[in-house]
Structure 1
Amino acid sequence: MSTLFSVPIVSTDGFIVCTNPTAHKEQKQRNIYVLTITSPKDNRLTPTLIDALLLSLDIIEHYYPKGVIITTSGIAKFYSNGLDLEIAINTDGFLEKWMWPLFRRLLTYTMPTVCFLNGHAFAGGFILAMYHDYRVQNPEQGFLCLNELELGVPLQTPMMQIFREKLTPITFRNVVLEAHRFTGKDSLQAGIVDAVGGMDAVLRLIHERKLFDKAATGIYGTMKEDMYARVLESLDGHVKNLAWREKIEKKKDAMQRRGLQAAERWERESKAKL
């Protein structure tokens, strides 16, 4: 690998390093940019990490020839263990100012993006992977899991919408309502990832799908904007999403009150018959 630049993640003394595979002459000429994220201990999605990743994407777009982006982790066990909930809760506007802009940037990026899942991707880490164009998973190590159900943390609309858009209904159900842990083999079978293997499998996917030149005409991001219009609407409509959730909660509370009254009435009538 040939190092192109490095961006610090100051909160964890971590960094994102951009490298170019140089094992083969063709690969070097084809402008493949590998962004390796190392933010101990498990690449939690914090404002500083997100800022570093957004800056890295900006640097490549504006200072390097068009090509293909690969994101991966420098931490063997984890691609990303999701949000740091304490930081997210205590950071004003975390979703609107950091999470949604990152998701939007990746979803509409002007070059093909490939996520190499070298290890575990839980919760927000799994969601981040889904906002890439392609995914390759390590078949020997790591699970993909949306475990918010087990944590008791409801998913926001943009977190849910990307799975709805990219997965079959049955896989979508298994991801969200079962918090299923997908191995590389499981993920490939379910259509969550496009291939399994190591970095060689990532480079093979790029070569076989001829991703090198897809951004050359300048409309790659534009095509994705129309392709994922519903996801973008959810990302850009945070206030609307919250209003919808509030309306749903009010209806749910009213139904629960009616249900409780019906159950209590049944109990009284049952006792009266004894």
Structure 2
Amino acid sequence: MNSSMEKMPQTQTPQSQPIFYTPVKDIVEKIKENEVGVIRDNELVYLVMNRPDNNFNPEYVEKLHKCLDEIEMIEGPKFMVTIGKSTRLFSSGMDISSGKDDPSIISKLPGILQTVIQRIHLLPFPTLCVFNGSALAGGLFFGLAHDYVLMRNGKTYISMAELIYGVTIPIYFTAFIQQQLAPYAIRKLKYGKRFNAKDALNLNIVENIFDDYEQLETQIKELKGSANLCKYKQQIKQTKLNLSYISLQHSPEVQRQTIKLEQPKL
């Protein structure tokens, strides 16, 4: 498996003293030759993506699932932070070149990508995605699967770029984005236009924007307070299932009955 799991040193300090966190820049540098890896820093658990363009093919999605297996096994409070090592491109979406030798893979890619998007969206603990580079097409949907999204200010942009190339967005993804974003934001995105960080913030697509790692670390610390809610894992997962009921009806996983979909519970 081309992934790594590393635990940063944790200093036992009295409750009255602050906990020291590893700088995000140092976290991402821990992932060197691996395409994806997991690093734990106190209650923060980083999922660091390090593939060229971080585009999704069957092998890469499988590695992501194995990393998520590791993260789910971590006991105690946790707050997952997904971040790309590159500051140019967070993810360009699906890896169309993976169908070069087997064209049938192309038609399977949306369903394969959906498995990891759906899994992240239903994780029973808080999640954050950092768009430290541009997020396009499936990469944007992948990021929106998280509970919170932060975005680097500057040349970074988001786009439903598949529309530019005449690709129809499958119904699961359209149902999913309707539950994640306001109708006004979807109307702006649906023709594939690029939006920078300030636009994304104004459209309420992201929670906040940052200029540098120092600002990012401050914003992560502001959001991570919800990590203590992990003790209610079952309630969190059921609530997320309830909120996702409509989009899950269009899920191939549900249709294959690998997920038992029940009516929302009160």
TM-score (norm 2): 0.75
Which secondary structure does the structure 1 equivalent of 2:174 belong to?
helix
SS of equivalent to 2:249 = helix
Q: Is the 8 A contact 1:121 1:144 kept in 2?
A: yes
Does residue 187 of structure 1 match 2:203? no
Would the alpha carbon gap of residues 133 and 201 (structure 1) be closer, same or farther in structure 2, given more than 3 Å must change?
Answer: farther
Matched, 1:61 2:72: yes
Map of 2:247 onto structure 1? 231
Q: Which amino acid aligns with 1:212?
A: A
- What's the Cα RMSD here? 2.4
Matched, 1:146 2:160: yes
Equivalent position to 2:124, from 106, 110, 114: 110
Q: Distance in 1 between matches of 2:198 and 2:70?
A: 35
Trace 1:225-264 onto structure 2 (pairs within 5 A): 225-236=241-252
Please report how far the alpha carbon of residue 182 of structure 1 lies from its aligned counterpart in structure 2 after TM superposition.
Answer: 1.2
Deviation (angstroms), 1:214:
1.9
Query: In the alignment, what sits opposite 1:127?
Result: 141
Matches within 5 A, 1:11-160: 14-21=34-41, 28=42, 31-40=43-52, 42-87=53-98, 89-91=103-105, 93-96=108-111, 98-160=112-174
Further displaced range: 100-109 or 194-203: 194-203
Please state how far the C-alpha of 1:126 moved relative to its aligned partner.
Answer: 0.6
Q: Give the Cα–Cα distance (whole angstroms) in 1 for the partners of residues 164 and 36 of structure 2.
A: 31
Q: Distance in 2 between matches of 1:215 and 1:202?
A: 23
**CA contact 2:115–2:253 (8 Å) conserved in 1:** no
Q: Flag structure 2 segments of 5+ consecutive residues without an equivalent.
A: 9-32, 257-266
Task: Assess if the C-alpha contact under 8 Å between 2:128 and 2:146 holds in 1.
Answer: yes
- Taking the aligned partners of 1:70 and 1:225, their CA distance within structure 2 comes to 21
Q: Could you say if the C-alpha distance between residues 90 and 199 of structure 1 is closer, same or farther in structure 2, counting changes exceeding 3 Å?
A: farther
Give yes or no for contact 2:153–2:196 (8 Å, CA) kept in 1. yes
Pick the aligned partner of 1:170 from 184, 188, 209: 184
Bigger Rg over Cα: 1
Give, as a single letter, the amino acid of the residue that structure 2 aligns with 1:50: V
For residues 148 and 56 of structure 1, the distance between their equivalents in structure 2, rounded to whole angstroms, comes to 27
**In the aligned structure 2, how far is the partner of 1:110 from the partner of 1:200?**
28
The answer as to whether partners of 1:117 and 1:138 remain within 8 angstroms in 2 is yes
Structure 1 length-normalised TM: 0.73
Contact 1:136–1:201 (8 Å) recurs in 2: no
Distance 2:59 2:181 in 1: 30
Render the CA deviation track for 1:35-64: whole Å, top value 9, x for unaligned.
111012x11111111111111111111144
Gaps of at least 5 residues in structure 1 are 6-12, 22-27, 241-274
Partner Cα separation in structure 2 for residue 237 and residue 20 of structure 1: 30
Describe the superposition over 1:160-204 as per-residue Cα deviations: whole angstroms up to 9, x where unpaired: 12221122212101111x312111111010000001115544544
1:3 corresponds to which of 1, 6, 9: 6
Aligned match of 1:266: none
Q: Kindly state the Cα deviation for residue 237 of structure 1 after the two structures are TM-superposed.
A: 6.9
Distance 1:205 1:212 in 2: 14
